[in-house]
Structure 1
């Protein structure tokens, strides 16, 4: 497979080569593709977790296990304050 990069991507590859971290353009592109693949794996994992949590929440709401929205928001605010005030 041959790929032609647009000038803005060629510039990024050139900057990375100039930094001395990579020996050639193939290493830069390989690293970028590997990072993209890892990012996609993380995204898919988070999406699956979110879908599972939404399903659990939906089932709980169908059983009548709900919390008033104002109370829930106050709990979230309280948790955030305690987490970031340390």
Structure 2
């Protein structure tokens, strides 16, 4: 197995965060504080990927909306009637 190089960084934590990390290591939930930080970074990477996907989806929906043609103004009562009529047609 190929060895992975690591880099040491200094991170400032609140006393509560430091205590939570110490507790997690002492209870055996994690082997070290570094493991906790790596886990947190993996979760952050996942959240960022989801955010990128959501932004891509919103951009696609925006582009589809623009290409669908000119919009129109409609009041709530008219919109509700139209939606109900479409629902009846679909069954």
Same fold at TM > 0.5: yes
Structure 2 counterparts to residues 6-85 of structure 1, below 5 A: 6-60=14-68, 63-64=69-70, 70=76, 71=79
What TM-score do the two structures reach when normalised by structure 1?
0.63
Q: How many residues align?
A: 72
- Structure of larger gyration radius: 2
Higher helix fraction (1 or 2):
1
Structure 1, unmatched stretches of 5+, are: 76-86
1:25 and 1:56 map into 2 onto residues whose CA distance is: 47
2:71 and 2:27 map into 1 onto residues whose CA distance is: 56
What TM-score do the two structures reach when normalised by structure 2?
0.61
Aligned residues: CA RMSD = 2.7
The structure whose RCO (Cα within 8 Å, separation 6+) is larger is 1
